Amino acid sequence: MPLHSREIKSFFFSQYFSDGLRISMGLLLPAVVFAQFGMLATGVTLSLGAACMSVIDNPGPAIHKRNAMLIGNLVVFFITLITGFARYNLWVLGAEITFFFFLFSILIIYGNRAGNVGSAGVLAIIFTMDKALPVNAILPFCLTVSAGGIWYMAMSLLFFGIRPYRAAQQALGENIRDVVNYLRTKSDFYLSQTDLDANYRKLISQQILVSQHQDAVRELLFKSRLVVRESTNYSRMLLLTFVDLVDLFEQIMATHYDYSHMHEQYGHTGILEDIGHLLHRMGDELDNVGYAVLSNTSYDSIKRFDADLEQLKTKIDAIGATTPPTANMVLKKVLINLRDLSQKIVNIANYHTIRSSKKLIDNPNEVDYARFVSHQDFSPQVLINNLSFKSSAFRFALRVSLVSLLGLIITKSSALLYLIHSVTGKQVAFGQHSYWVLLTIIVILKPAYSLSKQRNFQRLVGTIVGGLIGVAILTLVHNGTAQVIILAILMIGAYSFIRINYIVSIMFMTPYVLILFKFLGVGHLNVAEERILDTIIGSVIAFAASYLVFPTWESEQLKIAMRDVITANVNYLIKIAENITGIAVSATNYKLARKDVYIKSAELAGAFERMNSEPKARQIKNKDVHKFVVLNHILSSYIATIASGLSGKELHKTRPENLKMVKRSINVLNDTARKLGGTAIEFIGDKPIVAAQEQSELSGDETLLKDQLGFINKISTDVAKVSDDYLK
């Protein structure tokens, strides 16, 4: 299948398009149905309630969605009721916005889902604050909005009930493609023309995506299984695919070596190019499997790489024949990893060709899934602990509250409009939709400056371009039916792209808003001008506030992220140390340590990327941080390499020099963690070691293990030095 054709089809099979279709249906149907009975205004009010619930309808277990939407509907009802009365007095409305915007914004401390409930409450205030309602119409309006929210909740849960595992399947298919991109990036290290430093940056960025999406799949799959308590063949297939995919990702990380040294030693032989190209072909095969998962089809044409691996073995043996016995040991290790990688790809593919097999259900290798998913603490103490300027969530909530109050003051006064008239000579007004200023502020303001900066640009450009598109549509297309069809397409596009390309989403959203207001009897040119003006004003206010009002800089958070990733690597290394000293390590404990390293590494890399988007004056020692990020990636990759090599082996005795190197690495990393404000994780290895007189000549595996432990020791020392430079 041509690449561009697959990309298009993958989008339509993805959770993003499914979400866009579901949200659009939930918002559009009430307005369309009630319009048939001459009650368009009622239908639009129902759609407002549905819009508030749609921000809660993010990927996750159905029970979490249900609980959040139930709470969200209660919040929206009472907030709409309060705002309906508060809008009669500007002072009361200002006090309401100041208090509730702070309260709803700080809910982010309880996780994204709770933050989305807060966003629903904020939207309810914004949608109601300029609504001209007589006192006796306030309660019916609130009930109608709530009915819209209940309608959306019922529709969304119905979608899940019909296909309970489809969301997990889509997330899994997309995560497979993330791993494919990671594998392709990793394979580039073996190609002679690759810039190693640039490729490290690309690799780390891709690791962030892999980690984020793996967490999403865990939530969808593991928590759904815990709640549903069933083990169907279909759920089993998804579960085993994900477990093997995580192992596969580790296997890819375990193919990490000293690439510059490898190019010096083997570059002239051409063997590294062969390895790189083979990895690319393996990536293509895994991509085919990912597409089958995403499109919910079976995969029967499994490609095996036995012949390619045999050819590679022949070339490696030929190199070994002309060099010392241990000179090509690294290449042999790479070959072993490639064989394991190939087998894991085949295993994943096989799950999607034997769906009716009992083997999937009767697999005895159960894992304690509950330990692999996070559980949010909703105690009041969490809120109390964050009521301090030391908390970035507190500063963010305060920023949102104060800046929104400023936005309200500006839209309700004539000073800014007079200034614009004095400068441009043009008479402008906020009109009936001045709440767009507050909506823009809320959408743009994010906890991190870099995210606010990015969202600001996207919102502004998307609104201007979308406004022009909307005016063109309304000018050229006069048929009402055609406009409704275009409106539906624009809505689906807006909500499909909102999580993957915000600027495109706004380019779809702005024209559909203009078409909607046209049906409500408002002139499209005036609305377009007003929306663009309000967006510009809101963007300027939000951008200035993100820099001036209690800003949160990533450089202030990096020390914590660096400390956490060091601690995670120490814990990971201790599991390896326990293994080589003969201490039993359960598969669950080992995988939990591995998961923690992946998550903390992704958080550190994400924080570093965000810092690079901040003003130069706030980019503190970014060269040292970059070195730390790369060294941390190399360290965790080498630990994974050793873990892969030790998998399934029992070493009841270990050589004293190996144990010394492991302990030395752990001590160095623990010292670094202490300097960064963390605590040490001690390791005591008391298992028997090989006495000096019992030591025989090192085997090939033992030689490689010794070299790898030595390299880990060197990398640990380098990490310590870079940390010291950062702390100076």
Token pair for residue 380?
Answer: 């009041």
- What single DSSP character describes residue 296? T
Q: Which amino acid is at 317?
A: D
pLDDT of 414 strictly over 50? yes
Spatial distance between the Cα atoms of 435 and 531, rounded to a whole number of angstroms: 10
Average pLDDT over residues 467-476: 90
Token pair for residue 556?
Answer: 């202030």
Spatial distance between the Cα atoms of 91 and 409, rounded to a whole number of angstroms: 10
pLDDT of 225 strictly over 70? no
Task: For the chain, state the CA radius of gyration.
Answer: 29
pLDDT of 648 strictly over 60? no
Q: Which amino acid is at 296?
A: N
pLDDT of 424 strictly over 90? no
Instruction: Give the residue carrying structure tokens 């730390």.
Output: 628
- What single DSSP character describes residue 479? -
Which H or E run includes 405?
helix 392-412
More confident residue, 346 or 227: 346
How many CB atoms lie under 10 A from the CB of residue 297?
Answer: 11
The set of long-range contacts for 496-503, using a CB threshold of 8 Å and a minimum separation of 24, is 496/11, 496/16, 496/17, 496/19, 496/20, 496/21, 497/16, 497/20, 498/20, 499/16, 499/19, 500/16, 502/455, 502/458, 502/459, 502/462, 503/457, 503/458, 503/461, 503/462
468, 565 in Cβ contact below 8 A? no
285, 180 in Cβ contact below 8 A? no
Percentage of the chain lying above the pLDDT 90 cut: 29
49-76: pLDDT as tens digits: 999 999 999 888 888 899 999 999 999 9
Which H or E run includes 176?
helix 166-187
Spatial distance between the Cα atoms of 34 and 28, rounded to a whole number of angstroms: 10
Tell me the three state secondary structure of residue 654.
strand
> Confidence band (pLDDT; 50, 70, 90) for 213?
confident
> Confidence band (pLDDT; 50, 70, 90) for 228?
very low
Please, is 617 exposed, middle or buried when counting C-beta atoms within 10 Å of its C-beta (0-12, 13-18, 19+)? exposed
Q: Any idea which of 15-24, 266-275, 402-411, 635-644 has the lowest mean pLDDT?
A: 635-644
Tell me the three state secondary structure of residue 661.
helix
pLDDT of 109 strictly over 70? yes
Average pLDDT over residues 435-453: 87
What pLDDT is stored for residue 227 in this prediction?
Answer: 42
pLDDT of 246 strictly over 90? no
pLDDT of 568 strictly over 70? yes
Instruction: Give the residue carrying structure tokens 């080992």.
Output: 590
532-547: pLDDT as tens digits: 888 888 889 988 898 8
What pLDDT is stored for residue 415 in this prediction?
Answer: 59
Torsion angles phi and psi, residue 385, rounded to 5: -65, -25
Up-side HSE of residue 495: CA atoms within 13 Å toward CB? 24
Token pair for residue 460?
Answer: 């502004």
316-333: pLDDT as tens digits: 888 877 776 666 778 888
Spatial distance between the Cα atoms of 221 and 215, rounded to a whole number of angstroms: 10
pLDDT of 306 strictly over 90? no
Spatial distance between the Cα atoms of 657 and 689, rounded to a whole number of angstroms: 10
Q: Give ∠ CA 156-158-160 in degrees, rounded to 5.
A: 75
Tell me the three state secondary structure of residue 689.
strand
Q: Any idea which of 55-59, 67-71, 464-468, 554-558 has the lowest mean pLDDT?
A: 554-558
4-35: pLDDT as tens digits: 678 888 899 999 999 999 999 999 999 999 98
Instruction: Output the 3-class SS for 549-593.
Output: CCCCCHHHCHHHHHHHHHHHHHHHHHHHHHHHCCCCCCHHHHHHH
Average pLDDT over residues 674-688: 76
Please, is 519 exposed, middle or buried when counting C-beta atoms within 10 Å of its C-beta (0-12, 13-18, 19+)? middle
Percentage of the chain lying above the pLDDT 70 cut: 86
pLDDT of 694 strictly over 60? no
Tell me the three state secondary structure of residue 164.
coil
Q: Measured between alpha carbons, how far apart are the two ends of the chain, in Å? A: 55
- What single DSSP character describes residue 687? S
pLDDT of 362 strictly over 80? no
Q: How far, CA to CA in Å, does 105 sit from each of 59, 397, 417, 445? A: 20, 5, 29, 10
Average pLDDT value for the chain: 83
What pLDDT is stored for residue 687 in this prediction?
Answer: 54
Give the closest residue to 639 by CA, choosing from 546, 702, 542, 705: 705
222, 607 in Cβ contact below 8 A? no
Write down the H helix ranges in 129-165. 135-162
- Percent helix, strand and coil across the chain, each to the nearest 5: 75, 0, 25
pLDDT of 285 strictly over 70? yes
How many CB atoms lie under 10 A from the CB of residue 300?
Answer: 9
pLDDT winner (highest mean) among 185-194, 428-437, 489-498, 606-615 = 489-498
Give the closest residue to 98 by CA, choosing from 395, 394, 401: 401
What pLDDT is stored for residue 658 in this prediction?
Answer: 75
Q: Which amino acid is at 129?
A: M
> Confidence band (pLDDT; 50, 70, 90) for 216?
confident
Which H or E run includes 71?
helix 62-86
Please, is 459 exposed, middle or buried when counting C-beta atoms within 10 Å of its C-beta (0-12, 13-18, 19+)? buried
Average pLDDT over residues 710-716: 87
Give the closest residue to 115 by CA, choosing from 72, 146, 85: 72
Spatial distance between the Cα atoms of 75 and 149, rounded to a whole number of angstroms: 11
Q: Is the dihedral of CA 360, 365, 368, 369 positive or negative?
A: negative
177, 290 in Cβ contact below 8 A? yes
CATH 1.20.58 is right for the domain spanning 168-365: yes
Please, is 350 exposed, middle or buried when counting C-beta atoms within 10 Å of its C-beta (0-12, 13-18, 19+)? middle
Q: How many residues does the chain have?
A: 728
Q: Any idea which of 140-144, 359-363, 487-491, 612-616 has the lowest mean pLDDT?
A: 359-363
Give the closest residue to 252 by CA, choosing from 339, 337, 331: 337
Q: Any idea which of 2-11, 177-186, 449-458, 699-708 has the lowest mean pLDDT?
A: 699-708
Spatial distance between the Cα atoms of 346 and 673, rounded to a whole number of angstroms: 40
Spatial distance between the Cα atoms of 228 and 206, rounded to a whole number of angstroms: 33
What pLDDT is stored for residue 373 in this prediction?
Answer: 64
Torsion angles phi and psi, residue 368, rounded to 5: -75, 85
Token pair for residue 370?
Answer: 């509950």
> Confidence band (pLDDT; 50, 70, 90) for 93?
very high
522, 568 in Cβ contact below 8 A? no
Domain residue ranges in the chain: 1-162, 168-365, 388-552, 554-727
What pLDDT is stored for residue 653 in this prediction?
Answer: 53
pLDDT of 460 strictly over 50? yes
Cβ partners under 8 Å of residue 368, min gap 6: 588
How many CB atoms lie under 10 A from the CB of residue 674?
Answer: 13
pLDDT of 692 strictly over 50? no
> Confidence band (pLDDT; 50, 70, 90) for 136?
very high
pLDDT of 84 strictly over 50? yes
Q: Any idea which of 88-102, 329-343, 458-472, 578-592 has the lowest mean pLDDT?
A: 578-592
Instruction: Give the residue carrying structure tokens 């149907």.
Output: 29
What pLDDT is stored for residue 364 in this prediction?
Answer: 45
What pLDDT is stored for residue 502 in this prediction?
Answer: 92
212, 600 in Cβ contact below 8 A? no
pLDDT of 668 strictly over 70? yes
How many CB atoms lie under 10 A from the CB of residue 337?
Answer: 20
